[in-house]
Amino acid sequence: MAAAVGFASAPTSPAVSELCQNRRDIFLEASRLLLTYADNILRNPYEEKYRLIRIGNPAFSTRLLPVRGAVECLFEMGFQEEETHLVFPKEASIEQLRKIRDLIAGERSSRLNEPNQIHRSGSSETVASTRTVAHQPSRPAESVLAPVRQQPETSLVQSLEMAANILKTLQTNFEHLVLMYENPSIQQKAVASIPLQQLKGKAQKKLMQATRLDKGAHVNEEDFLLLELLDWFKNNFFRWVNNLPCSRCGGQTEPKSDYLLPIDDELRWNASTVENHYCSQCQLCNRFPRYNHPEKLLETRCGRCGEWANCFTLCCRAAGFEARYVWDCTDHVWTEVYSSSQKRWLHCDPCENVCDKPLLYETGWGKKLSYIFAFSKDEVVDVTWRYSCKHEEVLSRRTALSEATLRETINALNRTRQQSLSENRRRELLERTIVELVEFISPKTPKPGEYGGRTSGSMAWRVARGEIGPEKRKEVIFVPSEKEKTSKLFHLIYNIVEDSYTRVSSNNEKISGWEAGVWKAESIWRKVEADWKMLKEEIVIPKYYSFICKAKSCLLPGLSYTLPRLLPICQDIEQLKSHML
């Protein structure tokens, strides 16, 4: 084992440990910038400008962002990601910043005292690259060769097949599928199918309601139009297919494992697969062609996730959104839409009618993610890291092809496509890439709505695919005591500061934690404002409403309910909607 000679003992910070793996010259330059950022805050703790780092700043984007562990050090100091900046909040710990700063300074001092040494970790030497950020990296802030890792138990043939499938998908989706969304005649057909003015009216109304609730919200009419488009597409336009009804008797059919040969008209609309939905009563084979052409899907308006994402991405483009078709190699597809107000890409899954819940698949469905790519008319992007909060686990599964091969393949496709773009457009794409990189490596925790399993498709289909997710959080139901039944009063108070309930009607019983009293919740969480020593319930944009709703099955005749109220208590969701509208 090679030893690290002359350097300080291993730091107790994971981020600083990562930073130390870089080559000496890269480490010295990155550490100099990191110490500058930290020292500016320590010397000027009340100066707002020193608490902000613009993501597009050349020093940050070219000398820190590509360096292993550098941005992670900023996060450990206490910086947080916002739309265009990294921000050191007022409530962040100065002591934590000083701690990470001193660890970096100690390592830097050791390196300066040993100018000819190359830092080694274990028996392997790691070398970082000082190249400017590539327009599309295959892993966030990757500037070193991928570490040697244990190959999972998969055969060489399977690995080769997966690699071939990934490379084929990159080329096919980028060079053919997404360009169909740009066809003016197809867009015109899509616009004719969308009640755009009606959706815009709803979006305007909800934007006004949202801005009244949160005047500082960074949203615009387009954000709400996107939500309305999602809802319309899910509930009024497209239909999920598990089993086709028999075309002869209308009875139930059963999909068979043997596929039917596609006919010429089906091949014309890119239906290379035709499922056989067999009716045992009529002994009839019903054809279910899996069309892969968005124009045809405007007519059929049915299918599974492939058809849903394909047609919805077209509808987004036709409605004027910048949209990307997203392919996950673990067998799912969806859409991303760029929000000009939030300056980031929003995850949109039309099958689930969800927006901006990227951790849904990993945390909610239990997917073991590895490769996820987004395709637009201008670029293909490896967006895997947006959809995971377990990057090391994901990296261990990315064994089909080397990261270098994947990166060069993507960059070659992008270089070819972007040759015809204007300089301004290329610069805009590069700036977005830099912002996206920071988002990819920012620490993530699941949000409300990202824990549940899949809802689209039959239960058998979801179970077979392993997408029902982990066991759901237990729904809390209060059972009235004999005393409460006798007094016909159920009185529950929530103290937002103490984060506890008091069941007044049951001898002032204390219940800790707001989720311990929640039957179901949507779009609301408890946020701590540490600098003001106060708490608040904050409404989430883009889903802007929060509510209390009683379960019908839990109602007791003659019993009065006293609950914390955000909106008047409603018997069900439909009553709530009618109240709000």
Which are the catalytic amino acids? Answer: 305, 332, 349
The angle, 0 to 180 degrees and rounded to 10, between the axes of the packed helices 305-318 and 184-193 is 100
Q: Helical H runs in 67-155?
A: 70-77, 94-113
- The candidate with the shortest Cα–Cα distance to 365, out of 381, 351, 375, is 351
The identity of residue 295, as a single letter, is E
Strand partners, 537: 526
Burial 388-405 (b: 16+ CB within 10 A, else e): bbeeeebbebbbbbebee
d(CA 542, CA 117): 52
Using the 8-state DSSP alphabet, how is residue 201 labeled?
A: H
Contact predicate 463/410, CB 8 Å: no
CB atoms within 10 A of CB 526: 14
Euclidean distance between CA atoms 532 and 55, whole angstroms: 28
Burial category of 407 from C-beta neighbours within 10 Å (exposed 0-12, middle 13-18, buried 19 and up): middle
SS3 at position 289: strand
The residue type of 507 is: N
Nearest to 535 by CA among 510, 513, 508, 502: 513
Contact indicator for 305, 333 with CB cutoff of 8 Å: yes
Helix (H/G/I), strand (E/B), else coil: 314? helix
Closest CA to 237 of 318, 132, 356: 318
- In angstroms, the Cα distances linking 442 to 85, 364, 573 are 12, 20, 35
Residue 350 to residue 365: CA distance in whole angstroms = 16
Runs of H (alpha helix) within 373-487:
391-397, 403-418, 423-441, 459-464, 482-487
Burial class (CB in 10 A: 0-12, 13-18, 19+), 97: buried
The alpha carbon of residue 482 and the mean position of all alpha carbons in its chain are separated, in whole angstroms, by: 47
Single-letter residue type at 544: Y
- Which residue type, as a one-letter code, is found at position 170? L
Helix (H, G, I), strand (E, B) or coil at 339: strand
**3-state SS class at 301:** coil
